[in-house]
Structure 1
Amino acid sequence: MNIKSVMKQFIEDESGLTAVEYAIAGGLVVGGMIAAFSELGDNATSRIECLASAVNGDSTNC
């Protein structure tokens, strides 16, 4: 094999690109999950505080 054919084979090889694409997609999914759980946590906390104030007789915070 000469250098030209080795370089051509290297340029045309896309197997490593697939792994990078999966890593990027996985990172985006994890980032989305973190954002969703963070927002869900904030909403859940406010609802629990609302319920706690209602139990104490103060329902103006809801």
Structure 2
Amino acid sequence: MKHFIMSVLELFTATLLFLSATAAFIVTVPFHLVISLLFWVLTGELTWNIDKSDTMRKLYGK
């Protein structure tokens, strides 16, 4: 019985970890892509590092 409970707990933990990792991937990757595409549309340059873009330098004098 103890072995059964442990295996159920392991399965539950593995499923939870998989779901949280999948959710994190779904949330972060498209969100980052949307920000990058938005900046590309606004500035005419596709940049992954928003801080170093020309627009940010003009706006904030960096």
Tell me which interval the TM-score lies in, with the shorter structure as reference length. 0.5 to 0.7
Match of 1:52 in 2: 40
Question: Moved runs in structure 1, 4+ residues, more than 2 A?
Answer: none
Match of 1:22 in 2: 10
RMSD across aligned positions (CA): 2.0
Residue correspondences, number: 46
CA distance in 1, matches of 2:20, 2:40: 30
Taking structure 2 as the reference length, the TM-score comes to 0.61
Q: CA offsets per residue over residues 14-52 of structure 1, 9 Å max, x none?
A: 112101111111101110110111000121111110221
CA distance in 1, matches of 2:22, 2:2: 31
Partner letter of residue 32 of structure 1? S
* Structure 1: gaps (5+ residues): 1-12
Identical-pair percentage: 11
Which structure is larger by alpha-carbon Rg, 1 or 2? 1
